[in-house]
Amino acid sequence: MKKTSTRLADGRELIYYDSRDDAVRSAQDQRPLPHSETLSELRHDPVLDEWVVIAAHRQGRIYHPPADECPLCPSRDGRLSEIPESDYEVVVFENRFPSLAAHPHPEQVSAAPPHAIRPAAGRCEVVCFTPEHDASFADLSPRQVGTVLEAWTDRTAELSTLPDVEQVFCFENRGVEIGVTLEHSHGQIYAYPFVTPRTERMIAAAVAHRVRTGRNLFEDQLEAERRSGERIVVAGEHWTAFVPFAAHWPYEVHVYPNRRVADLLALDEAERTEFAHLYLDLLQRFDLLFTADEAVDGVNSTPKASSRTPYIAAWHQAPVRRGADRAQGADELALHMELFTIRRTVGKLKFLAGSESGMDVFINDVAPENAARRLREVKA
């Protein structure tokens, strides 16, 4: 893989990732962009003991532009975008409207106890998976997925070295129902200056499981699912994709490497190769899931980009500092991806209403075993 780093007109870093060593990336950003300014700050919620990012400057970010003004398409035919080249494989660049920034706004307001405030140090990046505006991740080839995986891994390694960063989170939001503001296929990477609340809860559960059983929680989870087989969707030599026993979402799949590792950097070549094939299989099943339902309901079942299943794909990795540098329990966390959709059936979404939003108690409308069976049944 060839990596080429350059700068956009306002100073933000942009990185090309190419599978070919002879790729030349020399185009310069010709836009008259002012230097970007980030006004984010972290405020501590003392009741829940967690940090909240206040990023009021993001109200002005680009919102559903027409296709011919998409900032994630290559710069072509006189139209300039965030990507100066006329073509690319995978591109990563600093978000123009970041929630976290390496150099947050210097004017920080002090707060009196019990309140606390600090700079929103960190980094937010955009990952463009393909130059094709109407393509989706599921349309990529295994080779292209391999390049994306290399980019995720490289960014995890580099962002982990930043002094303020405690956790690196690679994820993709797809679909207007999820809340994406740009339709071009892309993901994001957040480098947080703290360990996220969800990860802290996972670590606490894993530590308690170790004390109780002497074993690793994630290894036991995977072993139980593979032994049962009832909720497995796709399984390979190196990876297993299954609907969790207590799934929160109507269609939720967790993707685990069969060998427990802490983060993307620890995957070997065989695991990387198989992931590309297994993940594409899984995404294609997600897209066919509701198309099959539409056909049963007598609705036109011709797949369209606008009707693709909305989803969130989230990589869970161990915090940057583990062992002696952090709580010992961070070593218990295992790399895995969680893929889920908020769609529960044709034309109906799973909204986070009173119980979910008010009390964090999820109520799932689809039995996990039925969800796994449906995902096994649909195949391109």
Indicate which residues carry an active-site annotation: 186
Alpha-carbon distance values, 276 to 143, 203, 255, 263, 343 (Å): 8, 28, 12, 17, 25
Burial class (CB in 10 A: 0-12, 13-18, 19+), 161: exposed
Q: Any residues with CB less than 8 A from the CB of 60 and at least 6 apart, and which? A: 97
How far is the CA of 237 from the CAs of 106, 200, 212, 274, 343, in angstroms?
Answer: 51, 30, 30, 8, 30
Strands in the chain per DSSP E: 2-7, 13-18, 41-45, 50-54, 90-94, 117-119, 123-128, 167-174, 186-192, 232-235, 239-242, 251-257, 311-316, 336-341, 343-345, 348-349
Q: Which of 62, 6, 4 is nearest to 29 (CA)?
A: 6
Residue 209 CB contacts under 8 Å (≥ 6 apart), including other chains: 215, 216, 217, 220, 332
C-alpha 2/C-alpha 25 separation (Å) is 10
Distance CA 364, CA 247 (A): 7
In the block, residue with structure tokens 């530590």: 207
In which order are the strands placed within the sheet that holds 90-94?
Answer: 2-7, 13-18, 90-94, 123-128, 186-192, 167-174, 311-316, 336-341, 251-257, 239-242, 232-235
Question: In this structure, how many other beta carbons lie within 10 angstroms of the beta carbon of residue 287?
Answer: 18
Degrees (nearest 5) of the Cα angle 30, 32, 38? 115
